[in-house]
Amino acid sequence: MKILAISLVLCLLSSCYAVRLELDDPMGLPWDDTVLSLAVSSPQQPELAQQLASSLLQQLPRERHVRTVSAAALCQQAEQNDCSGADWQLAVSLDYQSQTYAGPPAFFSPQPGPERLRVQMTLKASLSDAQGQAQHFSWTQAGDALPESRQKLEQQILRILQQRLIQALQPHYREALS
């Protein structure tokens, strides 16, 4: 992970302090003016796709010269089908499946247990560089909970998948810079 270190000397009221700021980049993006085209989709859960896109945008550093645009906006600007105005293209799709089932019965009880919910999400990502070389990634994460805890479970699974995606992207960005 590249780290920008800035050393400052602050002089306040006749006292000087040395301050070192380190700005790291969680996604390992390059330092130059770079355009990253980001497209996140989920036919089953568009609101989760929007949350994932917003979260990924927050992971991009504001200190760098990286401009992130949605793929749809980039295509409209270029008025082309290939949307080649970006240095990097990141396409993410989120597949969502859920089902309910009867939970395990209580100890020594003939009655079935409370209803449970199983949620499974598959995140597929494709990272393409300016030369058109693509790297593909795919992860599946599942969990179960009581139906009233659906939203919390979805957020946990989404956070895990997002962390895996960011970890997988970092080496590819670094490799492209060398």
Q: How far apart are the first and last CA of the chain?
A: 13
Quote the pLDDT of residue 83.
52
Per the prediction, the chain carries an average pLDDT of 73
pLDDT at 9 over 50: no
Name the band, by pLDDT with cuts 50, 70 and 90, for residue 69. low
CATH 3.30.160.150 fits 27-101+113-177, yes or no: yes
The model's pTM is 0.69
Quote the pLDDT of residue 16.
42
The one-letter code for the residue type at 21 is L
Average pLDDT estimate for 73-79: 49
pLDDT at 7 over 60: no
Left if phi > 0, otherwise alpha if psi is -120 to 50, otherwise beta: which for 162? alpha
Q: Are 86 and 69 in contact (CB under 8 A)?
A: yes
Name the band, by pLDDT with cuts 50, 70 and 90, for residue 172. low
The single residue listed with the structure tokens 């396409």 is 91
82: phi then psi, degrees, rounded to nearest 5: -85, -15
